[in-house]
Structure 1
Amino acid sequence: MRGRFRDIPVSLAWTWQELTGTVGPNTTKLELAEGDDTRVWGSFAGMPVDFILEGDWLYGRVGTCLYVLQRNEGGFKGRSNCGNPLEEYLQVAFPAPLLERPLGEKAALMTLMLANVATMNSPTVGMARFTRPRPVIDAPVKNRRY
């Protein structure tokens, strides 16, 4: 999987048991397991990852965020806690056909989905990495001496 996540390059590859690659300058190594449930754990772009997809439930952690989400028509809906007060009604789009993809691809897409929320609060892959500085315009100040 090659492309861009927000404004940084992504290059990921997978086998039946792991997903490796880079997200920006950071390495990614996730362990994958699939049986009665799907488990993903390790590091994604320097963020700790540990989540489980079990039936209609997705729960676990990406970065500093904890998730408890239930499958609905268009994706997942539920709660997240990213170090702020508990956020109710988190809704993330993840169409059902994506859950039928091969394990590595599914794990990559699900981690990117959750990292999209987590990056706002992670010190490793934080907001500063995804926003460009805006030019500061020094407005004239009345009675200012130059």
Structure 2
Amino acid sequence: HAEHPGSPVLHKDGDFARGKGLFAPVSWTPAAEVADEEYPFVLSSGRRLYHYHTRTQTGRSKGLNSLMGHDTADISTADAARLGIADGDNIRVSSRRGSVTVQAKVTDDMPRGMVWMAFHFRESNANWLTNTAMDPITKTAEYKACAVKIEKI
């Protein structure tokens, strides 16, 4: 209603329109594309603290760009050692859909066999690598997991 002042707190006191939720169990299935001999790493993508979306606004901020002016591909210390990659080296991350050049960030925070990148930076956009396969239940694109390979440049 136009005269309703709005709700400062939704679902206050457990008052939900149709109960507390509708849950449906599903069986786990692997991603549409998993690591293999040719593409032995799994890429996961997401957001960085200092930037928003494709940096159309945050990319114009000197302060934010001084904190993070380019993206990195975060890889495990063990994988980097095996591939002869040092922190800050330029690497090529490739999937079946393309490749990007990016700086390596070698870290103990990443598990072996995994690479993490953001999609904020046009020059090294992780979304150029990701898979457009759809989840059969939610019908959402499987942007967050795909198989990649890494090469030191």
* TM-score, structure 1 normalization: 0.28
Task: Tell me the TM-score normalized by structure 2.
Answer: 0.27
**Greater Cα radius of gyration, structure 1 or 2:** 2
